[in-house]
Amino acid sequence: PMYLGGDWSEATSGGWFEVVDPATLQIIGEVPQGGTEEARQAVEAAATAFPGWASLSGRERSRYLLQISEKMRRATDEIASQITAEAGKPLKQARDEARSASAYMGWYGEEAKRLYGQYIPSAQRDKRVMVIRKPVGVVAAITPWNFPLGLLVRKVAAALAAGCTVVCKPAPETPLVALLFARLCQEAGLPAGVLNVITGDAEAIGQVWLSDSRVRALSFTGSNEVGKILARKAADRLLRVSLELGGSAPYIVFDDAGLDAAIAGLFKSKIRNAGQVCAAPNRIYVQSGLYENFLAALKKMVQSVKIGNGFHPESQMGPLINEAGYRKVESMVGEVKEQGAQIFEGGTLVGEPDDHQGWFYLPQIVTGLSENSQLVQQEAFGPVFPVLPFKDEKEVVERANRSPYGLGAYVFTRNVNRTFRLAEQLEVGILGINDPLPAAIEAPFGGIKESGYGRESGAAGLNDFVEERTVSIQLMDDLSE
Ligand code: ADP
């Protein structure tokens, strides 16, 4: 059942939908097919709970968040199994996600105490000016399946720390871990209505949240297409929206880079979650002097990858999430193949055939590509490595920035001056220099250009959920007297 107003409930429609293990294609659960009615009830519950939650002191809210974080930490194994079962990623990666989500909740548990305002020296002798930060109210969160717990907790933790109450809708592929998270929040004693998790018809639920004036902010992580639909509709009542959408991250390897580090970095950032990561490298630019050696090393790496059911102890990469995801990658690679690109396929399947019924896609290196091909310009969201040579820094920066997107970028170099030049020139929200995993709990994450707006994580992650109120005080007496 769904978690609504502190209780567990079925959909009023009586409908349910199935959750499928993407590795085995077995049905592993059913969740309610909620819709308009449940979306309204969720807002009602969150709006009712808001004044009480918002009036707690930061320290009081902090205690709840730290308690939830601790519950999550203790439930790491249960959470990880749930993530692997519905999202398909190897258990080790699922554990990383579970631990990171718990740490996230803990970090915002601390940050809840630090919702600082400002005291501004007035231009007038007899005035005092301060800025206080107030929670916006009910926050709606809509999240995707690739980090089904991590991306939900990013929003929920920051919103709760800010003093907001939350209604959320996880992706239909991965609702179970979101409901497990709700159970842990309930067990931690979070007051009823402060967090509500509903499942079902995305469009109907989204429509209610976009139009109900009690919802004061919408935080969305997902596709560019849906992000734009939501932003357009939100404009009708100037609802605050933060959007964390896709990108086409360049991964730039200079001649002076450490080859081993650049290859190991791709394993970490691209084999991870089978490439289904919004900031994953999507186009790999290698400087001509290193190109041949790089390709040889990349082939070796790709050949070594073990692919299988996430529960198999040797599995390093699981299946893609579903048929649509598989067909998308397949057709993007098919298109460039027709245009004359060369494909090198690697990887070995581990485990029994019954464990491979799902949408397993073997990792592929693609060369001989045109810069304008879809595979280079659009997010593939799969374990595909398009590799393109480049001559010099100026040229590669221009090619990297030509994209309409601007989420992540990666640079491998040992030249310190170049490090600073590129940090200032690449048009992205997050840049890893010799660092394949630059996202961190304590630092802001988000995109520019068509990758969206708003920031999650770190102290900046609170900004989307608070409003600043200026208070000007006219003194009645002259204090200097
Ligand atoms: P993906 O292609 O990665 O599944 P989506 O953007 O389609 O990404 O989905 C991300 C989240 O947005 C999911 O929770 C999904 O159910 C939800 N969603 C999809 N379409 C809509 C919509 N029209 N209104 C509100 N939410 C939507």
Task: Say how many CA atoms lie within 13 Å of 17 toward its Cβ.
Answer: 16
353-386 confidence digits (pLDDT tens):
888 899 999 999 999 999 999 999 999 999 999 9
Q: Other CB atoms closer than 10 Å to residue 243's CB: what's the count?
A: 23
What is the 8-class DSSP label of residue 445?
B
Catalytic residue among 173, 244, 450, 456: 244
Please say if 244 is a catalytic residue.
yes
Q: Could you tell me the distance, in angstroms and rounded to a whole number, from the CA of residue 53 to the centre of ligand 1?
A: 29
Q: Give yes or no for residue 273 having a pLDDT over 80.
A: yes
Nearest to 324 by CA among 160, 169, 145: 145
What is the 8-class DSSP label of residue 113?
G
Nearest-CA residue for atom 2 of ligand 1: 223
Q: Which two tokens stand for residue 337?
A: 């193949």
Q: Give yes or no for residue 223 having a pLDDT over 80.
A: yes
Q: Which two tokens stand for residue 226?
A: 């849906």
Tell whether ligand 1 has an atom less than 6 A from the beta carbon of residue 211: no
Q: Give yes or no for residue 294 having a pLDDT over 80.
A: yes
Please report the pLDDT score of residue 481 as a whole number: 65
Query: Residue holding tokens 């220099």?
Result: 433
Q: Could you tell me the distance, in angstroms and rounded to a whole number, from the CA of residue 223 to the centre of ligand 1?
A: 7
Please report the pLDDT score of residue 147 as a whole number: 98
Tell whether ligand 1 has an atom less than 6 A from the beta carbon of residue 443: no
Residues 6+ apart with CB under 8 A from 90: 84, 310, 315, 316, 317, 318
Residues 6+ apart with CB under 8 A from 239: 210, 215, 216, 217, 218
Query: Residue holding tokens 């770190």?
Result: 458
As a whole number, the mean pLDDT across the chain is 97
Nearest-CA residue for atom 15 of ligand 1: 171
Tell whether ligand 1 has an atom less than 6 A from the beta carbon of residue 229: yes
Q: Give yes or no for residue 264 having a pLDDT over 70.
A: yes
Stretch (H or E) spanning 400? helix 393-401
Phi (first) and psi of residue 367, to 5 degrees: -130, 175
Please report the pLDDT score of residue 296 as a whole number: 98
Tell whether ligand 1 has an atom less than 6 A from the beta carbon of residue 206: yes
Using only C-alpha atoms, the chain has a radius of gyration, in whole angstroms, of: 24
pLDDT band at 226 (very low <50, low <70, confident <90, very high): very high
Average of per-residue pLDDT across 324-336? 98
Beta bridge partners of 412: 253
Q: Give yes or no for residue 168 having a pLDDT over 70.
A: yes
Tell me the Ramachandran region of residue 238: left when phi exceeds 0, alpha when psi lies from -120 to 50, beta otherwise. left
pTM score over 0.85: yes
Please say if 30 is a catalytic residue.
no
Catalytic residue among 111, 278, 379, 456: 278
Q: Give yes or no for residue 477 having a pLDDT over 90.
A: no
132-163 confidence digits (pLDDT tens):
999 999 999 999 999 999 999 999 999 999 99
Tell whether ligand 1 has an atom less than 6 A from the beta carbon of residue 207: no
